[in-house]
Chains A and B, each alone.
Chain A
């Protein structure tokens, strides 16, 4: 349509599309302009003023992130004016920032620290403005720690919470020197509408928002000889962990990760993927039961669509925002909590261990999992089902602390009993994965045939589109599922809570008539979770997703019901999907919460 715009940056000519910002134009020709408030996932704010550049003929400097290119612009990104101003702005930011870097959790991965290092701010003349007043660090949430003294008011968290998640738990309050990022009535973060998804942490350039870490507790447990410490790892961790330890995004490090965990001293290294397969058995059964209740029994109480319950951020969100729809959630616990409940029952029995001596640790791409493990109802084993939840980032820290050369680590295998998994479980880590896994199993259960997609790849539910829809017509089912003959199973997949909201609103208004919806709180699904390596971007998430699907393709078993350990647990312990024991250990209930 519109013709291209020609301009010059530092004397280099460049042609760009209409609407391209100076920042992007410069990147095209290899000129990197530093930024802080800019993030690829978010709308342009233009408030940190670090990316200022000089435009010939203009009195003032322009913010490169927020200024569209114009014909014949002549831009200078490194003029003396620019350098002096930029340096002074970094100095200003440092003056209001608690720059006690050595005692900061983000030390080494802080964008402000990097800028101050790049621009060599060696002398801090400006008057220290922190702490502005008596402030307390908000440490009350089991997931997120918020330290306002480290906040540089770039509002990335606010935009994340609003644009990606539609939650608006974090917002800007007051003005001038009092301006701050806070919550409703400045309540602690655990008591407001926050879903604990941790996307704010992933998007925070400094250490103002970090996860509550349990690294010390886990080291203590490992070194305690009276404890049997077991660990489970979520599917998305194996495609993210490498980024923290020297690999490019998209590198699968499953074997190295298992080896590292063993070297850290865990007594057993098992896989959340095992309970992901188990989830499919339970959730798939639940879906078929609900369909039967609706189509055969015409039960008016049955709630459809059924929604997945694997993502604890999504669970907390629906509890706050759509409490009247809690009946639509699958009663299945998330794979993490299924694992926790089984670890201190099934595993303890099989290994002849006193469950009291078991410490159950999970490695998750997620901060909401910390909250989930902390929920009072998650004690079905008679103990706290999951004791400590570490993020992918925390595991990387432990690996570094232990001095393990991750790049050279030999591959190792998960331990038996709860370590076997299928490709269907791995793809839980990507948006659409649970749906795909469920369809692979449910379709086969009902018809006795494979899902009608090439190579089992249900491509309509894959990809990074915010909301994906698919329908699957059931033809010639097995005899006991005859009532499903000709039924077109309608599904929707959403990731990022802002998309969850759209799906929920379409259900509320009756615009949609889905049977089954998969919702993941984080953009891209768990692979883009709030506990994954920082930075994140659409590009990085795409690479992680590719790795997940490659992992699936590479596995011999790709359907949950084929998992031999799953078959074994039903035979030895649980009896049948949806059975009494399953109900006790693998299913849960939800709590309506306030909407502020």
Chain B
């Protein structure tokens, strides 16, 4: 193991934010191009889970000619086992607000929205207070930027960026066809940057300390730190900021209860890693030279030997069956078939080979589903069924 595989704590996100006015005025004194370059050289990737390079996203949207553009902060945090965005918004809201305004400045947007998960209504009073204070300051320094909160209504799919736009537009929350991408055709058809809460918190760090400080954290292709929502069979559940690139072995060493059987990386839409693969699995984005690299929105669920992997999968599939928007065939019908399928195999109504048909189905879903939801159901299904096939049958 190289050194970079080890677990390293970091502490940027939740560090005090009293200097936001300073970061704000410092950023506004720079040109949009400088700020984009700063972000690009930091190699920050989207922390919602998909990992799209943030600097590139801002750059693409800045380059589109248009009078009206939007900045949207995706705070729909719906992935099972993820609870970091909630903490960011309650602990350091000004970092997020500042980054939204800077983004507005960079791309030429005057309006920002926070799409807040419906269940997070209790954050509203504090968040609104922060927003009015922030907007007051914007006026003082002659920055024309307003932020409004849009409450979600509880659908998981509305965390998908284009479904989120549809939801904000008062329509049914269903993903759109891509292309066009949000940088061209986002909220109300206007060029839009949509970033996860944590991504925006990291851009604050980058604008405050410079790209290098951030870039020096983590490993190649997976730069910087990231918040992890640790839950499941662990003596210390909670939110931890860690450098990217650590091996799962080290992670389990730190957070496991000594009996960890498997870790679900990335929530219900992520991958299950069995104990035998802890060593070779690193947490970060694809593209590493050695071993397997798993991206994550930050959800890390640990399971010990008392857990039935069948029940875990059953639970995930229940979730997807209900939370698929129902629009596209592979996801709507596929999720139902997977759930009914494993039940039928468990009950002996279908032969065990039926699991192979279901695995082929997940391949199809990965290839053909319209959005990330349907495409990623395959992740947990195939990683659980392939590694714990006997638990599915007996």
Chain A: residues with CB nearer than 8 A to chain B?
A: 44-50, 52, 60-61, 63, 66-68, 81, 84-85, 88-89, 92-93, 95-96, 125-127, 129, 152-153, 155, 172, 174-179
Contacts and interface: CB of A to CB of B under 8 A. Distances in A.
B162 to A, nearest CB: 12
A155 B334 CA distance: 18
A92 B364 CA distance: 11
Nearest to A81: B367
A176 B354 contact: no
B321 A177 contact: yes
A317 B336 CA distance: 39
Interface string B296-340: 000000000000000000000000111111111110111111001
Interface residues on B, range: 35 or more
B329 A93 contact: yes
A87 B340 CA distance: 20
Contacts of A95: 333, 337
Contact of B336 (A66, A129, A172): A129
15 contacts: A45-B327, A46-B370, A47-B370, A48-B328, A49-B368, A84-B360, A85-B367, A92-B337, A93-B329, A95-B333, A95-B337, A127-B337, A155-B327, A175-B326, A176-B326
A96 to B, nearest CB: 5
Given A127-B340, A129-B336, A176-B326, A84 B364 contact: yes
A45 B320 CA distance: 22
A127 to B, nearest CB: 5
Interface in B323-380: 323-330, 332-337, 340-341, 344, 350, 354, 357, 360-361, 363-364, 366-370, 375
A177 B332 contact: yes
B170 interface: no
Contact of A176 (B321, B340, B360): B321
A405 B333 CA distance: 43
Given A46-B370, A60-B366, A176 B324 contact: yes
Contacts of A153: 326-327, 329, 332
A174 B179 contact: no
B155 interface: yes
A60 B364 contact: no
B205 to A, nearest CB: 31
A127 B336 CA distance: 9
Contacts of B328: 46-49
A49 B335 contact: no
Contacts of A126: 337, 341
Contact of A61 (B172, B327, B361, B368): B368
A166 to B, nearest CB: 16
B175 to A, nearest CB: 9
A92 B326 contact: no
B170 to A, nearest CB: 13
B59 to A, nearest CB: 20
Contacts of A175: 155, 157, 322-326
Interface string B111-133: 00000000000000000000000
A60 B177 CA distance: 14
A16 B369 CA distance: 27
A59 B75 CA distance: 28
Residue with the greatest number of chain A CB neighbours at <10 A, chosen from B177, B333, B336, B341: B333
A67 B179 contact: yes
A46 B180 CA distance: 13
Nearest to B350: A127
Contact of A92 (B333, B366, B370): B333
A49 B366 CA distance: 12
B76 to A, nearest CB: 15
A339 to B, nearest CB: 44
Nearest to B327: A47
B333 A46 contact: no
A63 to B, nearest CB: 7
Contacts of A93: 329, 333
Contact of B329 (A49, A66, A176, A177): A49
A564 to B, nearest CB: 57
A153 B174 CA distance: 13
Contact of A60 (B354, B360, B368): B368
Among all A-B residue pairs, the 10 with the closest Cβ atoms: A179-B326, A66-B177, A92-B333, A46-B177, A88-B364, A176-B322, A176-B324, A127-B340, A85-B364, A49-B368
A93 B336 CA distance: 12
Contacts of B323: 175-176
